[in-house]
Amino acid sequence: MGKPIVEKNLGGSLAELNFDGRTRSYLLHKPAAYDGATPMPLVLAFHGATSNARLMQLFSGLSAKADEAGFLVAYPSGTGNLPNVLTWNGGNCCGYATKNDVDDIGFIRALLNHLQETLSVDPRRIYAAGMSNGAHMTYRLANEMTDRFAAIAGVAGPMAMAQIAPSRPISVIHFHGTNDEFAPFAGGRGPRSIYGQDFLSVDHTIANWVEANGCPPDPRIESIPDRAGDGTTILRKTYGPGRDGTEVVLVAVEGGGHTWPGRPPLPLMLGKSTSNLQANDWIWEFFQKHPLPEKPS
């Protein structure tokens, strides 16, 4: 693994490292409270298709939440033919990364090793959150890297795998707009699909993780009305507790598009973004509840 090359950018540090014959990059954000001595939680935030780490930092607003709550954020970049139009090998989607079978699992494992060697990271509080194709990647991590990740959050990207077999239960929270025209809630090909991809449904995603975690099949249901007056409402379904206290949570944004709840849609063609919840608040609250289980002594 190469020595990181660091430059200041967007309030964080952009670094490069060599993995599997490629130069890969990530953007690191350290909150002001980070002192290098006290271990902090770490969130890896994955951009959507045709995007990159810089845009994910702007799109999600997770760095501001990290400053408020006190956690590290690393924004990895995927791969592609163009330097800022990148994708992840998240299963059956999408683009360059999938067509070239890029070893993104290996890259993330190497990146985590590097971050844990160079930063003070709480090993029981490492999480992943992703948007769209980045959400596909978080589901792969939940399936294949349960030894490292405590819980995951997917936004506007259903699981891109037909089946899963995680080595342990892992908590999952998923946000999805019912009017998503890129990755339709019910599955299939959206009218604005970038790659002409047929997606699996959100219900497929939730059902697989409910079963894998041994959660009860009937959820607790909470409805949140349109207090913001933006034409959206929220339906939250919580399945659990399952094995090891795990939960699976679906947050359906009625009337929402292909967006990060609580953040402005960039660009507007992504559809409506709700102001009736802040996804970053809900994600962090969920992550705090679900650290990696302690290893038996």
pLDDT score, position 7:
44
pLDDT score, position 4:
56
Domain annotation covers residue 277: yes
Domain annotation covers residue 80: yes
Mean pLDDT value of segment 211-233: 97
Domain annotation covers residue 296: no
- Is pLDDT at 201 greater than 80 in this prediction? yes
The residues, any chain, with a CB within 8 Å of residue 94's CB and separated by 6 or more, are: 49, 87, 88, 133, 136, 194, 195, 197
pLDDT score, position 26:
95
Q: Which of 95-99, 177-181, 193-197 has the highest mean pLDDT?
A: 177-181
Per-residue model confidence as pLDDT tens digits over 100-142:
999 999 999 999 999 999 999 999 999 999 999 999 999 999 9
Positive or negative, the Cα torsion across 255, 257, 261, 262? negative
Name the more confident of 10 and 27.
27
Domain annotation covers residue 294: no
pLDDT score, position 8:
43
Mean pLDDT value of segment 34-56: 95
Structure tokens at 207: 């059902």
pLDDT score, position 12:
58
Domain count across the chain: 1
Residue 217's Cα: distance from chain center in Å? 24
Structure tokens at 294: 């302690």
**Whole domain around residue 38: which residue ranges?**
7-289
Domain annotation covers residue 46: yes
230: domain CATH number is 3.40.50.1820
Per-residue model confidence as pLDDT tens digits over 49-81:
999 999 999 999 999 999 999 999 999 999 999
pLDDT band at 83 (very low <50, low <70, confident <90, very high): confident
